[in-house]
Structure 1
Amino acid sequence: MTGPATEAARDAGTERAAVRSFRSRLRRHRGLAAFGALVAVGLGLVIWGQLAPKGDVVPLSVNNAGPGGARAVAQILGDHGVRVHDVRDYDAAMAALESNSSATLLLYDRNGALDGQRIRDLAAASARVVVVTPRFETLRALDGGVRQAGVVPDGAPALDAACSLPDAQAAGQVSGGSAFVYDGGTTCFRPSGSTAGVLAAGANGRQVVLGSTAVLGNERLDELGNAALGLRLLGGSADLVWYLPSLEDMDLTGSPRTLDELAPDWARFVGPWLVVVALAAIAWRGRRHGPLVFEPLPVVVKAVETAEGRARLYHDYRAMGQARDNLRSGTLSRLATALRLGPGATAEAIIDAAARHLARPASTVSDLVNEHPRSEARLVAWARELHTLEKEVKRR
């Protein structure tokens, strides 16, 4: 007869046996268990990498956390209440600007994808436009009186504001390396001795040209007054439309301009004149060939003519070393044939065999064969001595 105590003891024994069995199986298969754990961890990392939010590598993009991106300045603006609208095409930019009449537009068209009409429409729809390193066509479309004026010299890593604009005065100094300078309107951060600056504002203050991506980039945002200038330029309104045009924004509806339309007006007069000059130069300096001479082929050239031609080439180019090597190589080859040493004989073996054949010291023959003539006269005399050596070997 069993009681509750007996059943509890039996259950406890069964549980301990199960635990011991599990531990025993785990010890026997611990290698497989470790491998399974590693696979599970690796699979988890892969899934996390696929599901984690990704950025991009587009220069000055608010999603680019690299040195050339602008995620830092966008996040700081967002922390201060500025709504940053990251738009990726022209239609989205126009929609964002039309829904916020007081929005600021940041335009960085590094590939020149937008045409003049689209640039003017964007400027008209925004309360303020900040253009970063614009091209000539972009400045011409904006028509704000700002012009390209070169680059900052290498010796100017930091530039002072030196102007009356409040945003520039608050920044104090900004990075000047690899930046462009612009003239017209109010210019700030000017290199020494120049009237053009990295920052140029139009007469009405609605259009601002910034000639440096380093001021907004992640890499140098914490240097000098870069952050102060970037935040003040872009944080003036509650909404900021951040627009980086791509090649997809190019207008491909019209026909491409022809070469005649792309060429300047003066090319129409200079082009024909250059053709005339080229023809005159050809007639003046061109080589005049005589009549064609027909010669039956194949042409048989005597060996002595080939040897003389090569000798003249060596003489003209003072190639004494090459001539010496050819003479030595030919002498050794002919000596090996005369002494029946075979094609695999080394130079030392040929010299020793020739010395034994002539009953001379090997050093004497070696000094003669391995000599390096220093003048053309000595080269000719040395060649004669080698020829004499060959004749003596063949006579014996």
Structure 2
Amino acid sequence: MTTTTTETTSPAPTPSNTLTPRQHWHRIRPWCFSALFIVATLLVGAAITASTVSRSGHLLNPQSPAPNGAKALAEALQDHGVHLTQRDSLDDVLADIEANPNRTVLLHDRAALLDSDRIEQLLDAGANRVVAINPVGDRFEPITEYAWYSGSIAPEGDTLENDPYAAEHDYPAGEQCPLASKAPALGPGHASVFTVGENDPDAVGCYETGSGSLIVVAQHKTTELIMVGAYEQFTNDRIAVESNAAAAINILGANEELIWYVPGAPDVQVAATPTFDDYVPKWITPVMLLACCSALALMFWRGRRLGPLVAERLPVTVPASETVEGRARLYAKNRSQLHALDAIRIGTLGRLAGLLGLERNASAAVIADAVTRVAQVPRDHAYRVLVHAEPTSDAELVDLANACAEIERRTRTALGYTETGRRIQTPDDPTAETPTFAVRDADPGDNQL
């Protein structure tokens, strides 16, 4: 009694689906970096916003604690019994003056919203005192008869666009200055210099420099006019230097009512609402019309009428050899040697299954084991050729294709079949004239690239 042993292959271990810490980190790393980038962006934006709010702001803003604000001056004036009212409309200021002329009006037109007519209207309103902060520009023409702008100065080591004079020391008030007794000197800082005019003998310059005065006191009709070029000396950063605070309080605290007037949106002179034609150049319309006419003419000149569709009988028959060659060219172009070898393996395994009497859907491992037993092919060689090998070059692909053909040839020889699928008749087997197994002829395209 002959005992047949069958080799069985142990199944491959099932890979674990649990992610390792390294794999988990690689998976969440893009999200972590994105979250860190968003948080860093928000923190930087918040820091910039806080820095902007704390260190910047409008110059001489009475509510700003920033270095260029004037909150310290506003609180000092309130401590001296001065009631401060902020206004951003000339109409409101004129109404306040009409109700009580005994007021001091501080004019700081930092956005240049007022014209010369409206500035003259403010001067003629009849307020007790008008203080103009840095009145530089053509719009201040109503006060140029008292003094005019003649240059700028800056602290030592700093520069301005127009800086003919260097501020290296404090500025004395001068003997004729009405502020000299309480504020004998001003500290250094950015300032505008004014030259007192000769047409008004009552105009007095205070805090002299080498070429003019930082503050000019004049009389406009019934209103006392004070031109302040030393605007930086009144900021929070410099109000405590020398007699800056005393000068500011004496200038702005002469009356119990102070109007801090900074022209705003209500003072903007709005012209007629512009139309679409105001934004479009005059030449754009004829150019667009000419371009449209040129495009239409080009379409009629170069246009071609489509002819009738080509009639074709369907379905179209494509020879198998053309399909095989076309697919092989695609594999060769993309250097997909493994796909080409898989096509060869599928054909070889199908024919081997028919030769060995196995089902057509038998696995490659089962067919390889059967070939090992029948054709005496080494098991490792059969598995490598029919299952595992992956070619990396055209030469390896050709070798594996030839190996598949050799395995099939040995199997046919071992089973006694010819190339046509018929068994060879032997004296020991007289009934072998007809095929024992239904084996189809080899398809010449199965092993082609």
The TM-score, its normalising length taken from structure 1, stands at: 0.47
Structure number, greater radius of gyration: 2
Greater helix share, structure number: 1
The TM-score, its normalising length taken from structure 2, stands at: 0.42
